[in-house]
Amino acid sequence: MTTRDAFLSKIRAAQPGPRPLPDVPLFTVPDGDRRERFTAALALMGGTCVEAERLDDVRALLAERFGPEAVVASAVDGIEGTRALAADTPPASLQDVDVGVVRGRFGVAETGSVWFSEAEYIVNSIGYLVQHLVVLLDPAQLVDGLQEVYRRDDFQSARYAVLVTGPSATADIEGVLIRGAQGVRSLTVVWLA
């Protein structure tokens, strides 16, 4: 046994036993429509919401907003991308993708966040390396607050989970806000059942 293995073995042996997680209380739900609260919260974070009735509307949005030359990676059945996306796609290969299209599992009205797991992203880097993220979200899949997220079975069973709220942003000491500094430059939620 190497020194490293012996050291790790001691750490594993010294770990405390598992303890139950505390109950997360449900808080008072603010007045107002979930969808309106989600849209307002997302707008504060620099994201936008648009309406669609069918996938053809989404295709038209992609063509109009990003043009025919855009490199598109899609994790949504029925929206064809110009870049193949599969479970064995190398994550770094998405570094030059202009637009990623994904379907959010659910949204959080309190924060304007959308929840994704490895199942929605297919390749996790799609949520970080693409320039623009277009998220299809069923308005019936909105929850009121973050505390409800922890109660969902899909949250508890996911190997990978992330809540995304708007495009990437950072601000310097003078308060200059820059969007897209470390991740996507824009995030658009498309309301589509």
Where helices occur in the chain by DSSP H, the ranges are: 3-14, 34-44, 55-66, 118-121, 126-129, 146-149, 153-157
**Res. 180 pLDDT band, cuts 50 70 90:** confident
Q: Where along the chain do its domains lie?
A: 30-191
pLDDT in tens, 150-161: 889 998 899 999
Q: What is the pTM of this model?
A: 0.85
Torsion sign (Cα): 150, 146, 139, 129: negative
Class of the CATH-defined domain 30-191: alpha beta
Distance CA 139, CA 154 (A): 18
Query: Do residues 124 and 90 lie in contact, with contact meaning Cβ atoms separated by under 8 Å?
Result: no
Neighbours of 66 (CB within 10 A): 17
Distance CA 152, CA 178 (A): 34
Predicted local confidence at residue 182, as pLDDT = 81
Predicted local confidence at residue 170, as pLDDT = 84
**Beta strands in the chain, from DSSP E residues, in sequence order:** 48-51, 72-74, 99-103, 106-108, 113-117, 132-137, 142-143, 161-164, 169-171, 177-179, 186-191
pLDDT in tens, 101-126: 999 999 999 999 999 999 999 999 99
